[in-house]
């Protein structure tokens, strides 16, 4: 059903690494049960690796090499569990002892759809097996610690992102700017904007002073990224940017995210602001 599996470190927490099935018991997503060097890896576009149940045996969530480089088609031998980039899971896992386990059974708005919270890493929802029944992922015992982004050519851009946008690993490089919009492809990757659309990049749309101590900032955002608003009181080659105090900011559903910065504790003037995008579960 699957091609040869590629070894990788697990993405799942200790001790929060287990799903539950009433028919087979705990299903462990870490590599240390019982003694395998493999584990389940949560990626930005797909999952890979092996989960284990003492009653069911190994469960394969994918071999880590989807045919197109960024998502399993779940046809032929190209099977596995996909991640849409914003936490939702779909596709199929495979167990030689129980058959297919379906992660894509639910509509997008279903509260029980398999999902990873990209802020906390907590997994929720259910997968379905014709032989096991419902597999509960939201046990409060299953949490992702990191999101894997393989960069085999070490150009600062994840392979899956290059394959999705370019169909190869050679068009984008560490210094390329494919759409000539002034933002390198590495920056487009970090912000998950379109590297072939010169109007798509991380952009502050408005900055308004509400008072001497408050500034409101609005910026374009995407749900696959998290953000910080940073502040400094001087611009130079050695500028040190500091967190504005708002911490991690998720994208608004509208694609336009706004926050008000309270800078009463900063007595210096003028102040400069910037918005930083970063990948969830990457720090």
Three-state DSSP class for residue 25? strand
State residue 36's pLDDT score: 61
Other CB atoms within a 10 A radius of the CB of residue 97 amount to: 13
Residue 193 has phi, psi (to 5 degrees) of: -100, 175
How many angstroms separate the CA atoms of 26 and 4, rounded? Answer: 26
Q: pTM of the prediction? A: 0.90
pLDDT band of residue 33 (cuts 50, 70, 90) is: low
Partners of 143 in beta bridges: 122
Per-residue model confidence as pLDDT tens digits over 207-243: 999 998 999 999 999 999 999 999 998 888 888 999 9
Q: Give which of 110, 111, 133, 114 is closest to 124, Cα–Cα.
A: 114
More confident residue, 116 or 34: 116
Radius of gyration of the chain (CA): 21
Q: Give which of 126, 6, 136, 116 is closest to 60, Cα–Cα.
A: 6
Q: Give which of 16, 75, 4, 77 is closest to 42, Cα–Cα.
A: 16
């Amino acid at each position: 059903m699957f091609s040869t599996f590629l070894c990788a470190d697990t993405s799942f927490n200790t001790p929060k690494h287990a799903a539950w099935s009433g028919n087979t018991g705990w299903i462990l997503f870490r590599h240390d049960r019982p003694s395998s060097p493999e584990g389940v890896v949560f990626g930005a576009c797909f999952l890979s690796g092996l989960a284990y149940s003492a009653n069911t045996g190994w469960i394969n969530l994918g071999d880590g090499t989807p045919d197109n480089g960024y998502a399993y088609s779940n046809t032929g031998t190209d099977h596995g569990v996909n991640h849409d980039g914003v936490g939702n899971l779909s596709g199929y896992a495979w167990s030689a002892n129980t058959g297919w386990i379906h992660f894509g059974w639910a509509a997008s708005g279903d509260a029980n759809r398999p999902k990873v919270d990209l802020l906390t890493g907590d997994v929720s929802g259910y997968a379905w097996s014709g032989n096991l029944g419902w597999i509960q992922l939201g046990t409060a015992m299953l949490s992702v610690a990191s999101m894997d982004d393989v960069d085999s050519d070490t150009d600062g851009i994840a392979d899956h992102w290059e394959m999705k946008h370019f169909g190869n690993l050679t068009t984008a490089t560490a210094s390329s700017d494919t759409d000539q919009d002034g933002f390198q492809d590495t920056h487009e990757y970090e912000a998950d904007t379109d590297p072939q659309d010169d109007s798509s990049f991380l952009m502050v749309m408005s900055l308004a002073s509400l008072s001497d101590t408050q500034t409101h900032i609005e910026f374009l955002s995407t749900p696959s990224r998290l953000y910080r608003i940073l502040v400094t009181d001087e611009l130079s080659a050695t500028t040190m940017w500091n967190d504005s105090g708002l911490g991690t900011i998720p994208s608004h559903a509208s694609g336009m995210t706004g926050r008000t910065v309270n800078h009463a504790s900063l007595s210096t003037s003028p102040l400069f602001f910037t918005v930083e995008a970063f990948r969830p579960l990457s720090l």
